[in-house]
C-alpha cells in the first residue's frame, strides 16, 4: 500500500527469503524497495536498517516500528527467558528503532514521522497474554515519554502510537503457546489493511494516537473508567476468546527465537472478519464524521418529537 502511493521502502525482518520475495513483488509493480535481514531485538541490526536507507535513498522521513511476537500462557507458567526474549522484540526493538529514527531526523535537521505499533492490550492487560500485554504497556509508556520530550524541545518530529484491536494476521501461529488449544482470536477481527491504512495516514498527518477498530477504543475507555468491572468481564471472556478448537502446536514450533514462515497476510482465527475499520475512516475524515453524527442526532430528535406529539 505504501509503494502504491510512491513511497520508497526499506523492509526489515529475520526471514530473508520472505523479504526477497516481497521486494521482488513491489519492484515488479513499479515500486522501489530494498531489504535488510535484521533482528530488531539487536541494536546493531536496527542501526543497519537506518544506514541502508541512507545509503540507498539518501535518508528517510518515516520510520515504522511494527515487529511483534506473543506468548499465550498463564502468568506463572511462562519461563523468564521467554519473557526476556519477547521484550527484546516488542519493547527493545521499538526503543532501538525510535532512537535510530530520532537521531537521523535531528542530524538531517528536518521533520519526520515516527510510528510505533502498540496494541489495545497496551491500554488494558488481558489474561493468557500477560507478557505480551506487559511489553505493549512498556511500549506505550516509552512512546508517550519520547513524544513529550521531543515536543518540549520543539523538534518537528511527529510521534504516533497505533492501537490495533484484534487483527487477522498469522500473529497467533507465530506465537509460543503454553496452552492446550491453539491460540486464535474469536469474535470481531479486523484486516491487516486497516492497520496499514492507519499507519499511512499517520505518516502524512501528525496524530498522537490512531485506534484501529472500535473495540480497541472502547476497551481503553471502559478499562480506565471501570477497572474492576473490566477485570470481571476479562476473567470470563479472555480464556475462551483466545483459543481455537484444535490442539496447540508444539511449544517449540513458533517464531519467538527464530524467523517464522513469511508472506502470509492472514491468520487462522475464528470469528467475524471485518472488511475494514470504520473508526479509522472516521478519524481520517473528522468533518464528515461530525456532520454524520449531527445528522443522526437531528434525526433521533425529530423522531422523538414526532412520537411525543403523536402520543
CB atoms within 10 A of CB 234: 18
Contact between 175 and 183 (Cβ < 8 Å): yes
Q: Are 203 and 115 in contact (CB under 8 A)?
A: yes
The span from the CA of 65 to the CA of 114, in Å, is 8
Tell me the catalytic residues. 132
Q: How far apart are CA 169 and CA 264, in angstroms?
A: 8
Question: What is the rounded radius of gyration, in angstroms, for the C-alpha atoms of the chain?
Answer: 21
For residue 145 the three cell numbers come to 515519554
HEC profile of the chain: CCHHHCCEEEEEECCHHHHHHHHHHHHHCCCEEEEEECCCCCHHHHHHHHHHHHHHHCCCCEEEECCCCCEEECHHHCCHHHHHHHHHHHHHHHHHHHHHHHHHHHHHCCCEEEEEECCHHHCCCCCCEHHHHHHHHHHHHHHHHHHHHHHHCCCCEEEEEEEECCECCCHHHHCEECCCEEECCEEEEECHHHHHHHHHHHHHCCCCEEEECHHHHHHHHHHHHCHHHHHHHHHHHHHHHCEEEEECCCCCCCCCCCCCCCCCCCCCCEEEECCCCHHHHHHHCHHHHHHHHHHHHHHHHHHHHHHHHHC
Amino acid at each position: 500500500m505504501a509503494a502504491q502511493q510512491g513511497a520508497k521502502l526499506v523492509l526489515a525482518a529475520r526471514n530473508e527469503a520472505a523479504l526477497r520475495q516481497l521486494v521482488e513483488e513491489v519492484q515488479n509493480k513499479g515500486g522501489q524497495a530494498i531489504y535488510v535481514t535484521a533482528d530488531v531485538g539487536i541494536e546493531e541490526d536496527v542501526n543497519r536498517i537506518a544506514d541502508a536507507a541512507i545509503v540507498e535513498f539518501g535518508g528517510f522521513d518515516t520510520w515504522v516500528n511494527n515487529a511483534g511476537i506473543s506468548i499465550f500462557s498463564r502468568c506463572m507458567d511462562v519461563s523468564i527467558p521467554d519473557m526476556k526474549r519477547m521484550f527484546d522484540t516488542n519493547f527493545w526493538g521499538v526503543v532501538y528503532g525510535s532512537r535510530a529514527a530520532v537521531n537521523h531526523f535531528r542530524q538531517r535537521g528536518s521533520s519526520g514521522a515516527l510510528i510505533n505499533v502498540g496494541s489495545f492490550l497496551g491500554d488494558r492487560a488481558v489474561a493468557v497474554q500477560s507478557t505480551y500485554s506487559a511489553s505493549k504497556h512498556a511500549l506505550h509508556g516509552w512512546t508517550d515519554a519520547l513524544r513529550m520530550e521531543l515536543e518540549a524541545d520543539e523538534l518537528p518530529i511527529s510521534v504516533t502510537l497505533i492501537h490495533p484491536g484484534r487483527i487477522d494476521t498469522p500473529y497467533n501461529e507465530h506465537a509460543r503457546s503454553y496452552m492446550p488449544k491453539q491460540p486464535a482470536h474469536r469474535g470481531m477481527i479486523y484486516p491487516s489493511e486497516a492497520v496499514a491504512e492507519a499507519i499511512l495516514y499517520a505518516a502524512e498527518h501528525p496524530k498522537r494516537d490512531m485506534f484501529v477498530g472500535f473495540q480497541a477504543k472502547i476497551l481503553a475507555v471502559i478499562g480506565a473508567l471501570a477497572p474492576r468491572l473490566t477485570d470481571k468481564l476479562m476473567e470470563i471472556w479472555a480464556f475462551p476468546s483466545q483459543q481455537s478448537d484444535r490442539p496447540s502446536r508444539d511449544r517449540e514450533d513458533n517464531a519467538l527465537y527464530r524467523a517464522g514462515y513469511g508472506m502470509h497476510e492472514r491468520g487462522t482465527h475464528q470469528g467475524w472478519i471485518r472488511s475494514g475499520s470504520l473508526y479509522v475512516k472516521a478519524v481520517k475524515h473528522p468533518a464528515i464524521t461530525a456532520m454524520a453524527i449531527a445528522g443522526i442526532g437531528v434525526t433521533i430528535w425529530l423522531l422523538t418529537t414526532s412520537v411525543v406529539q403523536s402520543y
